[in-house]
Structure 1
Amino acid sequence: MQKLLITGASGFLGWHLCQLAKQNWEVYGTYFSHPIEIPNVNMLKVNLTNFQELKQIFSEIQPQAVIHTAALSQPNYCQSYPKQSHAINVTASGNIAGLCADYLIPCVFTSTDLVFDGLNAPYKETDSVSPVNLYGEQKVIAEQEMLVRYPKAAVCRMPLMFGAATPTATSFMQPFIQTLQQGKELNLFIDEFRTPVSGTTAAKGLLLALEKVNGLIHLGGKERISRYDFGRLLVEVFQLPLAGLKAGYQKDVKMAAPRPSDVSLDSSKAFELGYQPLSLQQELEAIAKSQSQQ
């Protein structure tokens, strides 16, 4: 089996990716601050912001491909800690692209829908970027730097992702479910729109990009939905109390990082390559079913 290096294997997306990739690859996963064991995956503690350490990992493992999911992806954190987040989101990403270029191996990078300002959705790969927060800016710089250093890299813009909790990470739906189950009020925006996918679907998209993509690709879902309407779907599928679900407006909530209102992705290019997200209803039903069997 060929060797695949997955950075950020302890993160939500990285963990889901390891579950799928290990079926066809000998997988090496990196973590830094969240130690984790994943069956049939070789886990390594690596500080990706240390170039010497990064270089050593490449030379020891000799991977045949790399998928780089590691990031500080909380917009509010990035806004408050620009230096720390720049080191992993920008510098490490550029270095990984450079090493993949040296080894002439496929390289996949996970970017974000937050590279857009939310004023002209849905966004195609050819649309110009204009982030409204620092996290989006860092990802734009990383995208450009990676493609300069390695034009063959696949830069995958990811949407909002949801799914079952992993041993070291949750998605945004876990706190939603918990709040409603506790009978508390859950305020969700009716004026913020995304094209979400499950962690499993996102992982399938990244493995497809590894085989078929050079340059930019959007891996959004097929449905544009507000956070509030996503909450209504959760209530229905997981049979949660509806009374606590309240509609709110993004403009009424003060956050460290500004948020764009609609960064829905047009992912038709990926759909043509064989990327097939299920409907949100189907995705959530599959998650609910697997949890009821555990």
Structure 2
Amino acid sequence: MEKSNGVIVFGASGLIGRYLYTYLKNNGEKVIGTYFENPEEGLIHYDLVNSSIDELDLRDIKYAIISSAATKLDKCKDNPEYSQKVNVFGIKKLIKEVSKKGIIPVFMSSASVFNGLTGGYSEEDERDPISLYGKQKVEVEDFLISNFKDYLIIRPGKIFGVQKCEGVLFTDWYEKYKKNEEILCADDEQLAPTYAKDVAEGIAILIQKNCKGIYHVNYPEHFSRYEMALNFFSFLGINYNKFRSCSIKDFNFSEKRMKNSYLNISKFIKETGFRFTPLEECYKEIIKNI
């Protein structure tokens, strides 16, 4: 990858932020990373609500990737004042501050801006969020679209990593299997499992190509969680008797969940020609790490 201008990743200790920071660093880019609650070596503490970017050395930084947020749907609903302060007020403040310095904001949005009744949404489709988290994402998207010319909005699929500690989808299921715990997977929820490294690389390519606007970035196929777990354990050669299907309604969530969160990625593929990592290759990486 050719060298681009420098990048700061807000939220570099989170799942997607960590992969972004690592990918850019490994490719020789100038990159700064921040954390809020989870300190990691090389990262700088930054509080979306109370910190100021004047505390940071942003010389030669052209892009600010904003992946820091309160992301748990139930926690957002149960703590609306806090989540609004972080996900809307804090991020709007950050966008204004970086833009004043000529830095282009790259906002990590979500498929949650849609209602999930159909799936396969394009970037132009009408947004109709059913969760507070989704409504907060829409509010920030609207703020960007209405007030700024140069920006990127990324709506990713269901992101997973391949490290043991990341506990999302496949790694979570395997940890439960090792503990002989019951694994319940909804068979009426369709999503596109997307490797965090692919999202990181995709964003880096969009930045390198000076792309602007909204892009959907998720795996080109979609499955139910039950199908994904079946495929994963089949690949491992495991027949687990504490694994069963259920409905998304069987979980005691306080917030509504989308039934179809997969997105149309035609625009992203046309712009980048990107090839996503096959799930089987991700399984191999997971096996190495667990």
TM > 0.5 between the two? yes
Look up the SS of the partner of 2:109 in the other structure.
Answer: strand
Q: Which runs of 5+ in 1 are unaligned?
A: none
The question of whether the paired residues in 2 share the 8 Å contact of 1:177 and 1:240 is answered with no
What is the letter of the counterpart of residue 208 of structure 2?
Answer: E
Matched, 1:190 2:193: no
Identical columns (%)? 23
What is the CA–CA distance in structure 2 between the aligned matches of 1:73 and 1:182, rounded to whole Å? 27
What is the CA–CA distance in structure 1 between the aligned matches of 2:164 and 2:151, rounded to whole Å? 28
Offset of residue 166 of structure 1:
7.2
Matched, 1:264 2:265: no
CA RMSD of aligned residues (A): 1.9
Q: 1:126 aligns with which of 124, 127, 133?
A: 124
Offset of residue 194 of structure 1:
0.8
**Aligned position for 1:113:** 111
The question of whether the paired residues in 2 share the 8 Å contact of 1:119 and 1:262 is answered with yes
The question of whether the paired residues in 2 share the 8 Å contact of 1:12 and 1:171 is answered with no
Look up the SS of the partner of 1:130 in the other structure.
Answer: coil
Equivalences for residues 24-173 of structure 1 within 5 A: 24-37=28-41, 42-50=42-50, 53-58=51-56, 60-62=57-59, 63-165=61-163, 169-173=166-170
What is the CA–CA distance in structure 1 between the aligned matches of 2:105 and 2:275, rounded to whole Å? 22
What is the CA–CA distance in structure 2 between the aligned matches of 1:214 and 1:99, rounded to whole Å? 19
- Superposed structure 1 runs of 4+ greater than 4 Å apart: none
The question of whether the paired residues in 1 share the 8 Å contact of 2:190 and 2:223 is answered with yes
Look up the SS of the partner of 2:7 in the other structure.
Answer: strand
With over 3 angstroms needed to count, the CA separation of the structure-2 counterparts of 1:17 and 1:285, relative to structure 1, is same
The question of whether the paired residues in 2 share the 8 Å contact of 1:78 and 1:85 is answered with yes
What is the CA–CA distance in structure 2 between the aligned matches of 1:209 and 1:109, rounded to whole Å? 13
Look up the SS of the partner of 1:287 in the other structure.
Answer: helix
Matched, 1:18 2:18: no
What is the letter of the counterpart of residue 180 of structure 1?
Answer: Y
What is the CA–CA distance in structure 1 between the aligned matches of 2:163 and 2:93, rounded to whole Å? 30
Q: Which runs of 5+ in 2 are unaligned?
A: none
What is the CA–CA distance in structure 1 between the aligned matches of 2:245 and 2:164, rounded to whole Å? 28
What is the CA–CA distance in structure 2 between the aligned matches of 1:240 and 1:96, rounded to whole Å? 47
What is the CA–CA distance in structure 1 between the aligned matches of 2:206 and 2:97, rounded to whole Å? 19
- Return the TM-score normalized by structure 1: 0.90
Look up the SS of the partner of 1:73 in the other structure.
Answer: coil
Look up the SS of the partner of 2:221 in the other structure.
Answer: coil
Matched, 1:285 2:284: yes
